[in-house]
Chain A
Amino acid sequence: KQEVTQIPAALSVPEGENLVLNCSFTDSAIYNLQWFRQDPGKGLTSLLLIQSSQREQTSGRLNASLDKSSGRSTLYIAASQPGDSATYLCAVSAGANSKLTFGKGITLSVRP
């Protein structure tokens, strides 16, 4: 059974810092990996999707990498801002009907 782990559960950094959020998964037979952002009381918003054949994807200040063989992905946030404060979740798509398995998320707080 696929398991997705995100450690630590919470992170607090000062504004302007570059930071890396980690995601690990147990079964490397995935179709893709997605990173989501969730603001309090809201649904999830897709940030980046990395196909299994890709190594990374970039969108603005965000860069996500994928190392399928080692079961790891990282989300790099450059020059963090208070508006980046949210919970970040990763999810992998695998198996029958390519169902998504989610990590529990990392709650990020960026201090002004």
Chain B
Amino acid sequence: NAGVTQTPKFQVLKTGQSMTLQCAQDMNHEYMSWYRQDPGMGLRLIHYSVGAGITDQGEVPNGYNVSRSTTEDFPLRLLSAAPSQTSVYFCASSYSLPGHNSPLHFGNGTRLTVT
């Protein structure tokens, strides 16, 4: 059982470049989300989805886009990378909404550096 798979593990971008961080889960989870983790800031929610075709903004959505065309995949797109987007990005999923007492499962993260 692969769980939550994120690719790539590491990425270096130049300012202004765009890229897509991939996230896939094989647990048939309805809820998927993207977080960024920065030193001293903790984990902050970027975007989330409660099911295929439904997405919504989290705490820090600016500069990022998401889509959810299938239950399994939830890619995160950086439109025009900025140094402030240097961070570790985590994708997480759960069977239903976190408030419905479904534990959250995390991928191993993507370390992104923007120069």
Contacts and interface: CB of A to CB of B under 8 A. Distances in A.
B108 A43 contact: yes
A43 B4 contact: yes
B101 A49 contact: yes
Nearest to A98: B99
Interface stretch (B13-21, B38-46, B73-81): B38-46
A97 B90 contact: no
A32 B92 CA distance: 17
Where chain A touches its partner, the secondary structure class is strand
A34 B108 contact: no
Which size bracket describes the interface of A in this complex? 20 to 34
B90 A105 contact: no
A53 to B, nearest CB: 10
Given A34-B103, A43-B107, A89 B45 contact: no
A45 interface: yes
Interface string B9-43: 00000000000000000000000000000001111
Chain B interface size, under 10 / 10 to 19 / 20 to 34 / 35 or more:
20 to 34
B76 to A, nearest CB: 15
Contacts of A41: 108-109
B71 to A, nearest CB: 17
B90 A99 contact: no
A98 B109 CA distance: 23
B109 A99 contact: no
A44 interface: yes
A89 B97 CA distance: 19
Given A98-B97, A98-B99, A105 B48 contact: no
A61 B53 CA distance: 41
Contact of A44 (B40, B45, B90, B99): B90
B51 to A, nearest CB: 11
A41 B40 CA distance: 16
Interface of B: 4, 40-43, 45, 48, 50, 56, 58, 90, 92, 97-101, 103-109
Interface of A: 31-32, 34, 36, 41-46, 49, 51, 89, 91, 93-94, 97-100, 102-105
